[in-house]
Amino acid sequence: MRKNIRSRLFITASVLAFGAMSSVGAFEALPQQPPIPKDNPMSPAKVELGKQLFFDPRLSSNGTLSCNSCHDVSGSGTDNRAVSLGVGAKAGGRNAPTVWNAAFMTAQFWDGRAATLEAQAKGPILNAIEMTMPDEQAVIDRLSSIPGYKEQFAKVFGGPNSLTYDNLAKAIAAYERTLITPNSPFDRYIKGDKKALSAAALRGMKEVQAIGCTGCHNGVNFAGPALPMGEGFYQKFPTFTDNDYVKKYKLDEDVGRSMVTKNDADQHMFRVPTWRNVALTAPYFHNGSVKTLHEAVRVMAKTQLDKDLAGQQVDDIVEFLNSLTGEFPKQTLPRLPGTPNMSVINE
């Protein structure tokens, strides 16, 4: 309860004072390293194990979907669909958020129902319309039947009883903390390369401050201020509902965070999504209803700030948002441990 009041107060204050705020650092370059929780230190072996798990379709009941299926790290860290399809092609309720730079988010899922990457990783595997494993024990049983995983869990976490659901989540989260896209044109600009941004992007950069977008989209990930981990930064969406967009894109059908908190004050509250790599993560919004970034900019200006933007403003803002596409690190494809002479998928 306190959390949301604090978030809303912050927004109000920051929108009023954004001019001053931006000049003292509304814009920040992306760090090379995200926050690392004390109870899940990084190690190369843990990251490698987590990468294997992230890519392994055996974490889904019928062996068809891995984390990477909907959060494709070959691309935008999403599936570029309105909503993802789970086992049996069942449609999920919300658009898949990008896994790139998720390590900088202060809460996970659109409704912030997971405070950490570790907590998030546990969700889709057991979700009844996503990877549909029946329960934690079924996941552990399956992984325990894969010798290469048993060995790696023992090595990484120590001890004979190291293959646990908690440790599975820790390994995946450790891998996800390596999925950082630094050195976007914006970051290079912020660090002093004044030629890194085009004239249009620079105009867009001023617009997003002048209009008020950066009241929420600030911080290293343009997803709100760096609150203590797990708190999350939320905003009501849509805020202004008396416009055609809300009906056209069904923006008010999902009550968002209140489904988690059971608090009416959280109705239609959503985690503020990142702007980083947003040019690559279409379609947009929690329901994936808006197909282009240009339209998403128009919708946001109207529903959140009650402003109608001119075409040039939209173009310039889109140009600025494109400057937030970072450098995606080269990765090796993991080798998934095999199960000689048998399959662990029973269909």
- 56 lies in the site for its own copies, by CB under 8 A: yes
* Least gap, CB of 173 to its own copies (angstroms): 19
Q: What number of CA atoms fall less than 13 Å from residue 179's CA on the CB side? A: 28
Catalytic annotation, pick one of 48, 118, 130, 207: 130
Tokens 């310039």 appear where? 316
Binder among 98, 209, 322, 323 for its own copies (CB under 8 A): 322
Q: 70 or 126: whose CB is closer to its own copies?
A: 70
Q: 54 or 189: whose CB is closer to its own copies?
A: 54
Residue 118 catalytic? no
What string marks each residue from 67 to 106 as x (binds its own copies by CB under 8 A) or -? --x--xxxxx--xxxx--x-xxx-----------------
- 31 lies in the site for its own copies, by CB under 8 A: no
| CA 19/CA 210 separation, integer angstroms | 8
- 64 lies in the site for its own copies, by CB under 8 A: yes
Separation of first and last alpha carbons in the chain: 46
| CA 219/CA 199 separation, integer angstroms | 23
The count of chain residues that interact with its own copies, using the rule CB under 8 A, is 51
Q: How far is CA 160 from CA 11, 152, 172, 173, 231, in A?
A: 49, 11, 20, 22, 34
Phi, psi of 202 (to 5 degrees): -65, -40
Neighbours of 150 (CB within 10 A): 16
- 226 lies in the site for its own copies, by CB under 8 A: no
Binding to its own copies, residues 282-301 (CB under 8 A):
282-283, 291-294
Q: How far is CA 204 from CA 207, 234, 322, in A?
A: 5, 24, 10
Phi, psi of 234 (to 5 degrees): -115, 160
Q: Which residues bind its own copies (CB under 8 A)?
A: 52, 55-58, 62-64, 69, 72-76, 79-82, 85, 87-89, 279-280, 282-283, 291-294, 318, 322, 325, 328, 330-336, 338-347
Catalytic residue annotation = 130
